[in-house]
Structure 1
Amino acid sequence: MRKRRFLVFILLAILAVAVFFLLDGRVGKETKQQGAASTMNVIDEALDVIKKEGVYPVDGDMLVEGALRGMADVIGDPYSTYLSEDEAAAHKESLAAERVGIGAEITRSNGKYIIVSPLKASPADKAGLRPYDEIVRIDGERIDGESLQKVVQRIRGKKGTPVSMTIYRPDDGKHLELTVTRDAIPVKTVSSKVIEERGEKFGYISITTFASETAKEWKTETDSLLKKGIKGLIIDVRGNPGGYLHSVGNIAGSLLKEDTVFAYMQDAKGALTPLVTERAEDLSFDKKLKKVPIILLQDKGSASASEVLSGALKDLKRGFIAGTTSFGKGTVQETFDISNGGEMKLSTHKWLTPKEQWIHGKGVTAEIEVEQNELFNEHIRLITAEYEDGDYHEDIAYGQRLLTALGYVVGREDGYFDASTARAIHEFRDDAKIETNSNMNKAFFAELKKRVEEFRKDPINDDQLQMAIGYIHHVVTE
């Protein structure tokens, strides 16, 4: 009897435990669903309140976009961000092999939108646009007060479509109506030349970004350099912000032995995945590239994919790094499509050098430190405003900095136009053989821009490049 009661007790206990776990699972599941639902309800509640009760009318889609941006901002990572549909398209276009537009650089100066320079043989050039033309209207609508980004977006469009522009040409003192037909503008990311130094030939190759066609361009340029008999290679990634990992992987593969680990990917759990060089299916690089001596030029503007390349060359002792410490971006982003046409760009991995070093926030240090002349670091602008003694403006500070870098004695660079500034301007105008006075005006800024561009074009003024040439010559002839 006691045995039977004991068995009944055991069965009841087992049943109770089973019921408990069943209910606990349901409650847990329901709690999670309620949590997710309540989160969405809170967002919907806030959206409803703002739209119904707010004194300032706001478009509902804009509120949703604001919430999406807010979620990305909370992560605290400058590289994780929400991109609207237009921003996502612009981001993709920046790394594409070509862009659709008119082929002209535009700047904003004192509230005016000025053509800096149309590309040769571009739609803008063919339509007759010139430097210093001021854009007044686009498709019959004035653009006063709009952002530069908005103006550029309005000029861009579908290939083959026209955009009408009202421009003011200050040299002629009149307005003109021009129609430009948009077209595909090829984007070239790799360029090269042969440098001869004391009887030896070296290849110089510049990579501005790692875009979709960069590896193919790299092959074309390196093939050409090798056929010309170069003994060494200078790779310039100064100012290169990065780009596609597969592009830098192909380039690294052309310089390193096959099956070499050129970087590691590390996920959120810390798991490492090696990135290994392999033969590109559609590219056949010259085998001489794997043996030619290399020096890579970088600066603080060299980031991300640029650092993957410099980190690999340095850790594997395949090349020497010259210039300054790079930017220090050691994360990899992936983009995820959102149903509204936008994208969530999210940091999903860290990348490490072959020696498993994370360079984030530190950068890749140069083995030969060379500071560059200030004229190479200054963004050259097109300025049409006029300033005289007693004025104060950032444009004046810009002019003072350039005059100082060119060797003129100014005495200050804070934007206040004083007697020393006037003397330096007078001396500069006299040397340049333009109208001699002491004012900053369009003629002064145009000549200043011309002088700085000429200075930059002369390789002898590029201290970092000269150091690289000297080093590569020493390696080849030692």
Structure 2
Amino acid sequence: MRKNRIFLYGFILVVALVLGYLWFSGKSPKGEESEVSSSKVIDEAYDLIKKEAVFSKNEKLLVEGAIRGMADALEDPHSSYLTKEEAEAQESSLAEERVGIGVEIMQSGGKFIVVAPIKDSPAFKAGLKPQDEIVRVNGERLTAKSMAELVQLLSGEKGSSLKLTVYRPSENRHVELHMKRDTIALHTVSSEVLEVDGKSIGIVTISIFGEKTAEEWEKQTKALVERGIHGLVVDVRGNPGGYLFSVSSIIGTLLQNGSTFAYMQDSNGVLEMLNTVNKDTPYLNKVPVVLLQNGGSASASEVLAGALKDNNRAMIVGETSFGKGTVQETHPLSNGGKLKISTHKWLTPKQQWIHHKGIEADLKVEQDELFDIDMKYYHGEFQLGDYGEEVKYVQQVLGGLGYNVARKDGYFDENTLEAVDKYRETNKLEVNSKLDEAFFQNMTNTINNYKSRKENDQQLQMGVSYIIHKLNK
């Protein structure tokens, strides 16, 4: 039985979990009741459905439906029953590498939009571009498909061929791309150096705590130390969590050996102290540290924040974190699926349970409206008098850019048209009274450029300013 303590907030959240697992094989002899569990009432309900229901009687679906249904009573969104396919997807989400084409996709307005292909991936080499809309996979249309169904279509064996048909708004045409699935290395840690007032500040971003995250962290941070950084900013904004062993290894490079970084509490209330264990001297233990977090920082990200905060090792900058204070263990089942069950609470070094509360930032900083707005890739044409989410999005962005927009409810009124005209004039777009493909694409580029400039990231700027102030004291 594989048993991993997983701090994972919802990389593939499913509906529910079960306390027990039901299974059976074959059909009952005619005239006899089936026994699919040791519970009489469950067996009664099962037999009634099998005999009387006019809809699906697939035995596997009935059993899995019973499992998922019983889970509702737990009211725990972090415990769940995973089918074989869902279990494999969860494991690959935290693995070092996976087979695929290497592309980040978002669903917007019922359309599947390419955010970006991974550099040197099959998708990248085939010419897939940001903002491409995927409309067919191997000739199969994606109309009414879910993201899970699209992922299934894109999955396959290494070396197998794949044909994508995409609509490219920048060229106003459909493009057919051919590629072969390959092994995609997944990197969870990135770093860079920011020079400010004669000081070198290392910035390390952790996207998730996967299998190799600790190794990536060590490689990246040791390189930063060799470059002579004076301070370190650790960015876990939007990080949903991951493996305990990964975050504990990272904490070990920042705290003295033997420091308590968390507690585990089982269902009987028994506490287990978790301390750092590092064979080497913690090489980052004297570097000033700031940790950036937001409402999307959950689970293992909060373990890191709690450890650094309670040990007075870092200044926490940003917003209150998500608030997930439970630990899950996964148990394989004979049908290929798995049960992911909440088995422990975890507490901060000061024995605080942050579940549904989160960890408050020491320095609370909210981003401005434009920097914090979610990227959306809209298409179509809209004119005066139209109403829709696309118009509402444009109104929000224009307001964030400083244009005079009186309403942001999605109704295309005269005031909105005036702001659109001024935006067109400023960005040297062709005069047009409509919101069209060219307008949406230009607006997307504007937002991307705005977010890419570090001076617009107020949380990062506050973190860097704090480190500079601390260094100059």
TM-score of the two chains, using structure 2 as the length reference:
0.88
The Cα RMSD (Å) is 2.0
Using a 3 Å threshold, how does the CA distance of structure 1 residues 405 and 69 change in structure 2: closer, same or farther?
same
Using a 3 Å threshold, how does the CA distance of structure 1 residues 318 and 170 change in structure 2: closer, same or farther?
closer
Residue 382 of structure 1 corresponds to: 377
1:342 maps to 2:337: yes
Q: What is the 5 A alignment of 1:71-90?
A: 71-90=70-89
Deviates more, 1:137-146 or 1:243-252: 137-146
CA distance in 2, matches of 1:299, 1:467: 14
- Residues 325-344 of structure 1: per-residue CA shift (max 9 Å, x gap): 11111111111112221111
Segments of 5+ residues of structure 1 without an aligned counterpart are 1-35
- Residues 279-305 of structure 1: per-residue CA shift (max 9 Å, x gap): 26xxx5x64311111111111111111
Query: How high is the sequence identity, in percent, across the aligned residues?
Result: 51
Q: What is the 5 A alignment of 1:213-252?
A: 213-252=212-251
SS at match of 2:380: coil
Residue 68 of structure 1 corresponds to: 67
- Residues 356-383 of structure 1: per-residue CA shift (max 9 Å, x gap): 1111111111111111122232220211
Residue 110 of structure 1 deviates from its aligned partner by: 4.1
| Relative contact order, higher structure (CA 8 A, sep 6+) | 2
Does the aligned pair in 2 maintain the 1:47–1:60 contact within 8 Å? Answer: no
- Residues 378-416 of structure 1: per-residue CA shift (max 9 Å, x gap): 220211222111111112211211111111111111111
Give the total of aligned pairs. 439
1:354 maps to 2:358: no
Residue 27 of structure 1 corresponds to: none
Does the aligned pair in 2 maintain the 1:109–1:384 contact within 8 Å? Answer: no
1:427 maps to 2:422: yes
Residue 14 of structure 1 corresponds to: none
Residue 166 of structure 1 deviates from its aligned partner by: 3.6
Using a 3 Å threshold, how does the CA distance of structure 1 residues 192 and 52 change in structure 2: closer, same or farther?
same
CA distance in 2, matches of 1:173, 1:441: 11
Larger fraction in helix: 1
1:202 maps to 2:201: yes
- Which of 365, 372, 378 aligns to 2:367? It is 372
Does the aligned pair in 2 maintain the 1:73–1:81 contact within 8 Å? Answer: no
CA distance in 2, matches of 1:378, 1:176: 30
Q: Which amino acid aligns with 2:304?
A: L
- Residues 170-198 of structure 1: per-residue CA shift (max 9 Å, x gap): 56565554332111222111111111111
Using a 3 Å threshold, how does the CA distance of structure 1 residues 314 and 73 change in structure 2: closer, same or farther?
same
Residue 447 of structure 1 corresponds to: 442
Residue 318 of structure 1 corresponds to: 313
Residue 25 of structure 2 corresponds to: none
CA distance in 2, matches of 1:347, 1:414: 41
Q: Which amino acid aligns with 2:429?
A: I
Q: Which amino acid aligns with 1:316?
A: N
Q: What is the 5 A alignment of 1:411-426?
A: 411-426=406-421
Using a 3 Å threshold, how does the CA distance of structure 1 residues 217 and 167 change in structure 2: closer, same or farther?
same
Does the aligned pair in 1 maintain the 2:267–2:343 contact within 8 Å? Answer: yes
CA distance in 2, matches of 1:186, 1:58: 42
Q: Which amino acid aligns with 1:452?
A: I
CA distance in 1, matches of 2:311, 2:368: 30
1:307 maps to 2:302: yes
Segments of 5+ residues of structure 2 without an aligned counterpart are 1-34
- Residues 21-63 of structure 1: per-residue CA shift (max 9 Å, x gap): xxxxxxxxxxxxxxx9874443333233223322222422122
Q: Which amino acid aligns with 2:425?
A: D
- Residues 38-95 of structure 1: per-residue CA shift (max 9 Å, x gap): 7444333323322332222242212221111112221011111111111111111111
Residue 268 of structure 1 corresponds to: 267
Residue 155 of structure 1 deviates from its aligned partner by: 0.7
Using a 3 Å threshold, how does the CA distance of structure 1 residues 466 and 171 change in structure 2: closer, same or farther?
closer
Residue 44 of structure 1 corresponds to: 43
Using a 3 Å threshold, how does the CA distance of structure 1 residues 306 and 38 change in structure 2: closer, same or farther?
closer
